Structure formats: structure tokens, C-alpha cells
Amino acid sequence: MNLFMFLCHHLVVLVLMLPYLGGVYSNSTVSIPSIVNIGAIFTFDSSIGKVSKLAMEQAVQDVNSNSSILHSTQLVLHMKSSNCSGFDGMIQALRFMETDAVAILGPQSSVVSHIVSHVANELRVPMLSFAATDPTLSSLQFPFFVRTTLSDSYQMTAVAEIIDYYGWKEVIAIYVDDDYGRNGVSALEDALAARRCRISYKVGIKSGADVDRNEITNVLVNMALMQSRVIVVHAHSNSGFMIFKVAHYLGMMQEGYVWIATDWLSTVLDSVSLPLEKMDTLQGALVLRQHTPDTDRKKAFFSRWNKLTHGSLGLHSYGLHAYDSVWLVAQAIDKFFSQGGVISWTNYTSLHDGKGKGGGLNLDAMSIFDNGTLLLENILRSDFVGLSGPMKFDSDKSLVRPAYDIVNVVGNGVRRIGYWSNYSGLSIVSPETLYASPPNRSSANQHLHSVIWPGETLSKPRGWVFPSNGKQLRIGVPIRASYREFVSPVKGTDMFKGFCIDVFVAAVNLLPYAVPYRFVPFGDGLKNPSYTEFVNLITTGYFDGAIGDIAIVTNRTRILDFTQPYAASGLVVVAPFKKINSGGWAFLQPFTPLMWIVTACSFFFVGIVVWILEHRINDEFRGSPKQQLITILWFSLSTLFFSHRENTMSTLGRGVILIWLFVVLIINSSYTASLTSILTVQQLSSPISGLDSLKASDEPIGFQVGSYAERYLTEDIGISKSRLVALGSPEAYAKALQLGPSKGGVAAIIDERPYVEIFLSTQCTFRIVGQEFTRSGWGFVSILTTF
């Protein structure tokens, strides 16, 4: 009985533990597969494909021979060509699903990547592209798409910073008309706009084997007629080389042009040796190349590569990224297995018909990778240093520390002129060195080596010319009847001359881009035009802008946009004056009559005060009344020359004398200075002392025809319009001032300072009185633009 109970007890315990034992047993018996399949989709016969194929084969060989990774599991790589076709790429991706590929390397093309990424998302298979650079391949839209190369958003930022570094403001973009080209140029537009630059013209061309030379010729001929001479080429190798070939034939690879090619060109230059005829068409071009650090491991691989290819095929940055992509997948799979991950698949039923079949499309073999998300997470958490540099992803699933080499095509090869990195911008120091210091993107820290530009010149091209087909701006110019020194037409031509014209032409010549324009006259030349009507024509669209002696005033700035003032132009008052002759009585002029009376009274008063204080104790102040009066007068007047002989005995008397002598000293000094000025300097007198005295009177005031002075005096100052007299020339100014108000002339003229200075340079009987009472200037005008 006891034995029976013992057996029953242990049997119950065993039954209760079976689930746990089963779990342990099942985990311990999960076998790691001996083979893991991965796929690769790219174009075998392309510049990128030839190098990448061999690089991935070498990477698989290195992984399988390394005992520290995947251990007993062999990595098997299946390669299929997409032929740069989105349809072929999708078909090949579906075929990989029949081989249970846990990851796909590629596609090479951005166009194919857009299509195949949908397949990868549905089947949860990570897709690692080592060559698709389209910036719109978003990790949000395509979560299973991982870019193991650099996005074109970085490359276009580098191009924009190069353009900004050399001071160019407008560029022309020619691109291949597909997702890769269009989205790359769109990124370039955004990068240029952030630096106040822009693409003035962009055009797409066909890609593939059907590149039309005539089409490219027509495009380049149209570009040659435009003003910009900075051309960015973002294309594939076949269309890109055709562009440079036609450009060379048309003479567009000569001095004055700037050609910037994206990394499609450096990929070809690094992989094969081009014939001299083709290199001649590229001379002087700037080219970007994805930067990879110069490490010992990279140098060893280059040596191994040269032995493998016998120097017939060069290794470019995309080949290095392809090699690193294989290692990235291998390390992620190794970590996947160490986490207990299982490679299992579930049938994809979304496309099955009601009978569980693939609807005749043979889709039964399509399966979903159950643990694809775990493998993707391991890929994104990777952190190691490969041949191309750090293989680590940021929060946007982009590689960290993007950088580019900037090279210049010279002779039979290229010459590196600097680097661009997202860390410090343009530099002649390698990015690895800069990473050790804090980032510095200031303009003073941006440097590149000298460039040999097209035409074999070291001088930086201006970047623009006057276009042959550009629209000319209609610039209004007033035709004045007076003061033609500022602006006047040249007889027999449609040109103008004068100070204002010289300033405008000099300013235009300093611009970093072309401004085609033509002068359009305003006015009949018989009288000065109304400048208010003149500038209002800009708002109607008749003029695109206006130049001349145009004053910047408040009511005009509300509807028009002015440049910075190039000349001071405040209103001043001009009035006649007369000379004051000194004559025989000049010695009386330093003081006014009132001052003379006060001074005389002061002398007499001080004499009386001293007599009161002294006559009781001082015998010198005693005597008959007549004698005491004479003493008072003599004593007070003698202090004027500090020659008084009478001694003061009282303390108060001495104090009064001390203070009075100090006052006399001041009076003497002031009188001497004023008299000296009267006798040596010409004295001028005018009945008008400034705007206030002119406003207080009721005398007529002159102003220049067409000037804003009339509106200012009536509306702002409050002077009656009946007092204003319009005058049209310097001669009319002089005549009106000479006649004066009593004879039908004017008491003064109010005009802008530049006109007054020219007027006074030939007239010596008038002068500026008072202060300048407005603070304005002359500027050029365009239509007011609001944002």
C-alpha cells in the first residue's frame, strides 16, 4: 500500500512537470540551420554591379571562413539581375521567397527599390540597399528598407555648400528623368534655398540605352543661351557621359563654365580606366565621391582586390558598401540565433483565391518571415567598423557620419581638392581628424584647395553671363530739364549718363548674377517730371524698377521697395544774404545797445557801492560833492583797464572790488574776441533764419517742379499752398531770390541738399540758412514684395 502511494505520488508530480520538461526539451532541440540563404538583386553588367558582385562574393567567403561568426552555419548568397527594371526586380524578389531568403541585398537602382520595398514590407524580409540613394526612400513608408550607403540628401547638401562657398547664386540642373534623378534634384533645390541660392533651370533626360544625342544637344543649346554657367549633372553613366560629350562638342567645357557631377561619375572613374578621348570631355569638372576612411584593413583589401582582378577592375565606394552589407547581415543573423531566433515561414494568404491557391499566379510559395522584425532590429542595432567606415545607424536609419570627397578631373585622373562632411562642412582636412574636435561650420572655417576649371584656368569662374534669351527688366529713368548732372539722356542713343546712372551700373556689375535691363525714359525733357507719378508706374507694372534722383519718403515706402540710400538728400532752406560792413563804428558792434547800457550802469553802480563803503574811513573818497562824484566815476571806469589808484580800506570794499574785477575781465575778453571777429571775418546777414521763421511769415516760398517738397510743406508743415511758387531751373531759382517777395520773387527756396549744393556752386549771393529739417536719401525703386 505504501509502495502504491509512493508510485502514485511521483506519477502525479511527473505529470505536472511534463509541460515544463517539454518546454526545456523543445528549446534544447531547436537546431540552428546549417545554411542561411540571403539574396542580392542588382544589375550585373553595370559599373556598380560588376564591382559589387565580386565584393559580395569575397564578403561571403570571408564570413564563412571566420569561425567567430555563425559558427557551423554557412551563408549562401543567391544573386539575380534586375536589369535596372522595376518589373524584373519585383519578379526576382518574389523568386527569392521560394528559397527562404532571410534578407535581400539591393536593389542597386532607386527605381527598383521603390517597387521591391513593397514586397519586403509585406513579407517582412529586411532589404539592405548598398546603392539606392533616392532620399524619398523613407524608413517610415518602407520600414524593412535599410540603406547601407549615403542618401542623396547629403550629397545635394554638399553640392549646395560648394556652390555657396564660391558665391554662385543660380545653377542649372540636368538630371535623368526617374525617381533617382527627380528626387535628387528636389533635394538639391531645398539645400540651395536654405543658402539663398536657387535652380534657375532644370531639365530631365531619358535614361538607359535609348539616350538620344539630338535631345541632349537641344537641351544644352538652350542652356548655353541662359545666364547661369554653373551646371549640375545628376544622371547615370550612359546619359552622363553623353552630356559631357555633347557639351565638349558645343564648346561648353571652356573657360567660364562650371560643371559639377554627382558620384555617378566618380564611381566609373574609380572602377575603370577611361580612354583619353572620353577624359578630354571631362576636364575641369568637379566630382563628388563617397568618402571612406583610409584604414589598414581597407588598404589590405585593396591589395587583395588588385591581385584578384589583376588591375582590370577598380574598387569604388559602392563596392565597399556591398562588402560591408554582407557582414552586416551576417552579424545580425549571428545575434538573431544567439537570441533564440528561429527561421520559420508562414504562407502568405492575401493573394490566394477561395480554394487556397495562388489564383494561377503560382504564389503558393510566397511566405512571410515570422521573425523578420527581430532580424531587422538586430540589423539597425549593429555597430562595427567596416571597410567603408562605421556601420551604425541613427534614428532615421541612416548611416552616421556621412562625408564626401570632392575631386577635380585633371589630365588622365582626378585630384582631391577637399572634403565635405555633415559634421564640419567643407574642409581640406579629412573628416576623421575633424571628428576629434568640436564641430565648426562657420564660413571662415570652410576651405577647399585650388581648382583647375574648364579651359585650364585657376581663376574662379563668375558663374553667369548676360543671357541671350532672357527677359530684360524695364528700368524707368526720368528725363530732367534741370540738374542734368544727376541723370540725362545721351543724344542719339537710348543710353543715359550722370551720377545716378554711374551708381546703378557699378552696383549691377558687383552682383554675382546677370541682370539684363533696358532704360525706359519718363518725361518730355521740357520740365521736370512728377516723381510721384513716375514711381507709381512701377505699381501698375509699366516699369519693373526705377532709378534716378528718387527721394525715399514715407508715403512711397508703403507701396514700393527701395534700396539702401546711396546719397543723403534732406530738405534745406536757401535764402539771399547781404554783407555787413564794419565801418568806423565797428567798435560798437560786439555788444548790443542794451548790453552797452547795462555795462555802463554796472560801472556807475559799482563806483557808488565802493564810495558808500569807503568814504567814511578813507580820505581818498572824501571832499566836496563835486570831487566825490568825479572820484566815483574815475574809480569805476579805471577798473576797466585795471588802473585804479585809490586804495580800499574796508573788507567789504575789497570784496566788491575783487568780484567786479573778475566781471571786468570777462567783459574785456568777450569784447576783444567779438571785435576781432568783426574786423577779420566777413559778416553775412539774412532776413530768414530757418524753417521756423519762414513758416511764421507770409512771404512766398519757392520749390522745384516735381519735387516732394510741395507735398511736405503743405501736408506736414502746414504752409498754405498759395504761398508756394514752382521753379524749374537754377536760373529760375536765382532770379526769384534776387527779385525778392516785393518784386514778385520769393523769400527763400526749399529743396533737396544735392540740388542746392550744385546751385550754390555757381551762386555766391545765396546760402543755406538753418538746419536740414528732413532726413532722407536717394534710392532705386522696385515693386514691394511681401511674403
pLDDT at 595: 84
Pairing between strand 389-392 and 383-386?
antiparallel
Give domain status of residue 528, yes or no. Answer: yes
Examine the domain organization and report whether 279 and 233 are in the same domain.
yes
**Could you tell me the CATH number of the domain that includes residue 507?**
3.40.190.10
Examine the domain organization and report whether 96 and 145 are in the same domain.
yes
Give domain status of residue 673, yes or no. Answer: yes
Last residue of a domain, one of 569, 597, 626: 569
Give domain status of residue 11, yes or no. Answer: no
Least Cα distance to 107 among 61, 77, 158, 146 occurs for 146
**Could you tell me the CATH number of the domain that includes residue 422?**
3.40.50.2300
Examine the domain organization and report whether 711 and 765 are in the same domain.
yes
pLDDT at 3: 39
Examine the domain organization and report whether 244 and 160 are in the same domain.
yes
Longest dimension (CA), the chain: 172
Give domain status of residue 340, yes or no. Answer: yes
Distances (CA, A) of 100 to 61, 123, 573: 20, 11, 95
What span, in angstroms and rounded, lies between the C-alpha atoms of 289 and 266?
6
Examine the domain organization and report whether 141 and 158 are in the same domain.
no
Last residue of a domain, one of 683, 709, 737: 683
What are the φ and ψ backbone dihedral angles of 660, each rounded to 5 degrees? Answer: -65, -40
What span, in angstroms and rounded, lies between the C-alpha atoms of 268 and 244?
14
Q: What is the length of the chain?
A: 787
| Residue the block writes with cell 564570413 | 63
pLDDT at 350: 64
What string of DSSP letters covers 296-309?
A: HHHHHHHHHHHHHH
Last residue of a domain, one of 392, 422, 437: 392
Q: How would you class 269 by CB atoms within 10 Å of its CB: exposed for 0-12, middle for 13-18, buried for 19 or more?
A: buried
Angle between helix axes 263-271 and 237-249 (nearest 10 degrees) is 100
Examine the domain organization and report whether 670 and 598 are in the same domain.
yes
Question: Where in the sequence is the domain holding 519, given as residue range(s)?
Answer: 473-569
For the chain, helix, strand, coil in percent to 5 are 40, 20, 40
Q: Tell me how far the alpha carbon of residue 614 is from its chain's centroid.
A: 88
Examine the domain organization and report whether 758 and 693 are in the same domain.
yes
CB atoms within 10 A of CB 302: 15
Give domain status of residue 307, yes or no. Answer: yes
Which amino acid, 322? A
| Runs of H (alpha helix) within 339-449 | 372-380, 431-434
Pairing between strand 766-769 and 571-576?
antiparallel
Give domain status of residue 227, yes or no. Answer: yes
Examine the domain organization and report whether 205 and 122 are in the same domain.
no
Number of domains in the chain: 5
Examine the domain organization and report whether 275 and 178 are in the same domain.
yes
pLDDT at 644: 66
- Which of the residues in the chain have pLDDT under 70? 1-30, 86, 97, 208-209, 350-365, 469-470, 579-587, 619-620, 641-646, 678-686, 784-787
Examine the domain organization and report whether 387 and 303 are in the same domain.
yes
Least Cα distance to 470 among 214, 776, 201, 151 occurs for 201
| Runs of H (alpha helix) within 437-539 | 499-509, 531-539
Examine the domain organization and report whether 159 and 252 are in the same domain.
yes
Distances (CA, A) of 555 to 87, 683, 712: 65, 41, 11
Give domain status of residue 593, yes or no. Answer: yes
pLDDT at 274: 93
CB 181, CB 234: distance < 8 Å: yes
Examine the domain organization and report whether 232 and 315 are in the same domain.
no
Least Cα distance to 80 among 93, 71, 68 occurs for 93
* Segment holding 74, helix H or strand E: strand 74-81
505: CB partners within 8 A, 6+ apart: none
Give domain status of residue 313, yes or no. Answer: yes
What span, in angstroms and rounded, lies between the C-alpha atoms of 52 and 199?
34
C-alpha cell at 500: 545716378
SS3 594: helix
What span, in angstroms and rounded, lies between the C-alpha atoms of 317 and 387?
9
pLDDT at 500: 94
What span, in angstroms and rounded, lies between the C-alpha atoms of 320 and 271?
12
Q: Tell me how far the alpha carbon of residue 273 is from its chain's centroid.
A: 39
pLDDT at 4: 37
pLDDT at 116: 87
CB 509, CB 519: distance < 8 Å: no
